[in-house]
Amino acid sequence: MSQATAGGDRPAISIERVTRQFGDVIAVDDISLDIREGEFFSLLGPSGCGKTTTLRMMAGFELPDSGTIRLQGVDVTDTPPNRRNVNLVFQHYELFPHMTVAQNVGYGLRLRRVREPELTERVMAALRLVRAEGLETRGAKQLSGGQQQRVALARAIVNRPAALLLDEPLSALDVKLRQQMQLELKQIQTQLGTTFVYVTHDQEEALLLSDRIGVMDGGRLLQVATPRELYERPATAFVADFVGSLDVIPGRVLDVHDGIALVVPTGTAEVDPPNARIVVRAPDAQPGSVVKVAVRPERVALLSVGAHPRDADIWTTTIPGRVERIIYLGNLTRVVTSTGTGQMVTSEHISDEHLAGVTEGTDIHVTWPLAAGFILPERP
């Protein structure tokens, strides 16, 4: 896992070898992570991967069994939540139902003995920032989902925390509203310059919002990287599969030359070998070894049999197959092709006239350029 810290910069939150166990279940398994000052960092993973427990340990609601948590260099491992300068936006908002919006937002300030007129000024400024002005006299129970979300955000940022922790804050909203709130959230973060730690299971959301993403599974932190690195150079098979979708084709290495391997799909004996060939960068591969070749569906093109392939360059992968299913998704069309070895390859195309000749049952070649394919790392 990469854990780069810009030279000399003190991380906003530093987690060192933290483990947390619930009974027999290891929720968080020996995680180390530095979150930089001012960055939008996401913890991404399926439910039960330990991301929320990690966030709750940062907030102080869970204590690690071992390891250290530092906030701006100060050890807060055993500090109770009320004495940590971080604020959490809860998944279900947890607005106080017996208070108005203004009372909710001002709650933390009143505990810190902030007096009028500063109290009202800061409450109003926070509500303006989240575009919830005009709601201040409303009861917390009289708000729509989106409004509750905004108020919960205002209630947290009004305290000017060193870092804002967000636990799937948009998961309860419908799609349209969620997309709008994603943009606003990013804008607010940029405007405030506050460190955001964002927990989500939605890889699209993580890619869209984050400066860096940490992917978790089974309590372990698998990879920390920028969205682009994560998508294009996943460190493990799990990351590759979880972030975006993936075609995986098992094969056998025939030959390696200058770090580029010629691979035939496993069980290719039945088809004409020259027609089924995968060309992939694999500096470590040995001839005869078994590998898994992966490619993103949007990088796969379809080539009609007639057009193939004398002039196609030798670096292009081509596998013959037959179109099994065509799934129309509006802007995109997804094509599932079965290769001669029974392997399914899914490809995604812009829905346009180039697909006119492709119908279910057509014999076809799936093909992708050298840059698109990669060998799936052996680690799980």
Partner 1 sequence: MIAPRRRHQRRPWAAAVFMAAVLAFLFAPLVVVVAFSFNSIPRMSLPMAGFSLEWYQGLIDDPEVRQALGRTVTAAIITALVAGPMGVLAAIGLQRLSVRVRTTVMGVLLLPIAVPGLLLAIALAVYWQGVLGQRYSLGAAIIGHILLALPFVILTMNAAVSGFRFSLLEASRDLGATPWQAFRTIMLPLIRPAMIGSALLAAAVSLDEFIVTLFVGGRETTLPVLVWGRIQRSVDPSLNALATVLLVATTILALLAARRTSVRA
Interface residue with partner 1, options 6, 80, 118, 360 (CB under 8 A): 80
Task: Give the shortest CB-83-to-partner 1 separation in angstroms.
Answer: 8
Interface residue with partner 1, options 107, 125, 298, 377 (CB under 8 A): 107
Interface residue with partner 1, options 47, 73, 112, 356 (CB under 8 A): 112
C-alpha dist (Å) from residue 209 to 131, 252, 343: 19, 39, 35
What burial letters (b/e) apply to 350-371, b meaning 16+ CB within 10 Å? eeeeeeeebeeebebbbbbeee
Cross-strand pairs, 212: 41
Quote the strand ranges of 76-161, DSSP E. Answer: 86-89
Task: Give the shortest CB-374-to-partner 1 separation in angstroms.
Answer: 42
For residues 19 and 29, the answer to whether their CB atoms sit within 8 Å is yes
C-alpha dist (Å) from residue 317 to 201, 255, 370: 33, 14, 7
Q: Toward partner 1, which CB reaches closer, 157 or 209?
A: 157
The three-state secondary structure class of 137 is coil
Instruction: Note whether 318 binds partner 1 by CB under 8 A.
Output: no
For residues 48 and 100, the answer to whether their CB atoms sit within 8 Å is no
Interface residue with partner 1, options 1, 26, 59, 124 (CB under 8 A): 59
The three-state secondary structure class of 9 is coil
Q: Toward partner 1, which CB reaches closer, 103 or 318?
A: 103
What burial letters (b/e) apply to 248-281, b meaning 16+ CB within 10 Å? ebebebeebeeebbbbbbebbeebeeeebbbbbe
Task: Give the shortest CB-98-to-partner 1 separation in angstroms.
Answer: 5
Query: Beta-carbon neighbour count of residue 334 at 10 Å?
Result: 17
Interface residue with partner 1, options 7, 98, 272, 330 (CB under 8 A): 98
CA dist 103 and 19 (Å) reads 37
Task: Give the shortest CB-99-to-partner 1 separation in angstroms.
Answer: 9
CA dist 36 and 43 (Å) reads 14
Interface residue with partner 1, options 87, 149, 195, 337 (CB under 8 A): 87
Q: Toward partner 1, which CB reaches closer, 155 or 201?
A: 155
CA dist 49 and 203 (Å) reads 14
Instruction: Note whether 46 binds partner 1 by CB under 8 A.
Output: no
Instruction: Note whether 100 binds partner 1 by CB under 8 A.
Output: no
Instruction: Note whether 63 binds partner 1 by CB under 8 A.
Output: no
Q: What letter would DSSP give residue 90?
A: -
Instruction: Note whether 357 binds partner 1 by CB under 8 A.
Output: no
Query: Which element (helix H / strand E) includes 228?
Result: helix 227-232
Instruction: Note whether 287 binds partner 1 by CB under 8 A.
Output: no
Interface residue with partner 1, options 10, 17, 92, 354 (CB under 8 A): 92
Stretch that binds partner 1, among 21-29, 31-39, 42-50, 56-64 (CB under 8 A): 56-64
Stretch that binds partner 1, among 83-91, 285-293, 339-347, 366-374 (CB under 8 A): 83-91
For residues 151 and 104, the answer to whether their CB atoms sit within 8 Å is yes
Instruction: Note whether 145 binds partner 1 by CB under 8 A.
Output: no
Task: Give the shortest CB-52-to-partner 1 separation in angstroms.
Answer: 13
Interface residue with partner 1, options 25, 111, 290, 332 (CB under 8 A): 111
Q: Toward partner 1, which CB reaches closer, 55 or 335?
A: 55
Stretch that binds partner 1, among 66-74, 120-128, 151-159, 254-262 (CB under 8 A): 151-159
Contacts of 82 (CB under 8 A, 6+ apart): 111
Instruction: Note whether 82 binds partner 1 by CB under 8 A.
Output: yes
Residues that bind partner 1 (CB under 8 A): 59-61, 80-82, 87-88, 90, 92, 94-98, 107-108, 111-112, 155-156, 159
